[in-house]
Chains A and B, each alone.
Chain A
């Protein structure tokens, strides 16, 4: 158990809908990352938050947004969903926003868009 909690574990929704994925980082970790894992794209970095503020953006679509709350949990919002958004979405956390510190991953949320 990495200490990173993601809910829900599975999500099935229809095209055009909006969903929210939730992540609770390890106790004491200030940095939260979101990654998408799909068969065709592999593991892709989406966005990073540090202590409530956006720190870095990756290949995140405009239809997607995220935030980190004062209690440090984070939410990833996916809207106007398309079939191609079906993927495994991982949250990871680390103590600081540094390339030296390892990131710990949650179990992921498997999103299926039908």
Chain B
């Protein structure tokens, strides 16, 4: 089974500072990785996805993530945090299941707080 681990359940940054949210994966096959964001009382919104086309993936709202096979990591970054970035962020890996189905396996999430 594939899995992802998010280090740091809570991250706090100042507005304008670099955002770095960590995700490490475990997979016996080339992984397909995703970052989702969940704003309070909202559903999950896709930020970006890695499907092996390029190691540096750009997403919405100025976020990007870099796939590093040697480190089994897919960390999410944003050069300058904005107050509106305060939310919970989930890393996920997609895997094929018996019978041809598929599912996302999520990390435990990182709550990002942005302070003035």
Contacts and interface: CB of A to CB of B under 8 A. Distances in A.
Contacts of A55: 97, 99-102
Interface residues of A, number: 25
Q: What class of interface size applies to chain B in its complex with A? A: 20 to 34
A56 B49 contact: no
Given A106-B43, A107-B42, A108-B43, A43 B106 contact: yes
Interface in A31-76: 33, 35, 42-43, 45, 48, 50, 55-56, 58
B103 A43 contact: no
B44 interface: yes
Contacts, number: 64
A97 B101 contact: yes
B102 A102 contact: no
B87 to A, nearest CB: 14
Interface of B: 32, 34, 36, 42-46, 49, 51, 90, 94-106, 108-109
18 contacts: A33-B104, A42-B106, A43-B90, A43-B106, A45-B104, A45-B105, A48-B102, A55-B97, A55-B101, A56-B99, A97-B100, A97-B101, A99-B102, A100-B51, A105-B43, A105-B44, A105-B45, A107-B42
Given A48-B101, A48-B102, 4 more contacts: A43-B90, A99-B32, A100-B32, A102-B46
